[in-house]
Amino acid sequence: MFADRSSEERIEELETEVELLENRLEREQVKRSARVEVDDARFLERYLEDTYKTQSELLQEIVESGAMDDLIRKRIEDELYVMAGKGQVEYEPGWGWRLSTD
């Protein structure tokens, strides 16, 4: 009876460990993915575990993972070039972007 309970507990521990490893693997795959659906439950589940996290902690982990880099970088870059075309911003190699002074 005790051996069965111990075996069941060990199985549960291993299943939990497998889930955590799968989540980590999915996070790594998201880092390499160009398309990110941030409002998808499966995306968020990759960053949630059996411990509580505040929304700020969760957001910080997602940002630090690099999962959103391509999504954010592309949108910002596109908008900067549109703004530059309208004369709203200027770009200087080695320095970066700034608002136009004209």
**Nearest partner of 64 among 43, 42, 47, judged by Cα:** 47
What are the pLDDT digits (tens) for 69-99?
777 888 888 899 999 999 999 999 999 999 9
Is the pLDDT assigned to residue 100 strictly greater than 70? yes
C-alpha–C-alpha distance, residues 23 and 43, integer Å: 10
Domain ranges of the chain: 1-67, 68-102
Task: Give the percent of the chain with pLDDT over 70.
Answer: 89
For helices 55-65 and 2-32, what crossing angle results, to 10°? 60
Is the pLDDT assigned to residue 23 strictly greater than 60? yes
Q: Give the pLDDT of residue 72.
A: 82
Q: Give the pLDDT of residue 90.
A: 92
Indicate the pTM of the whole model: 0.45
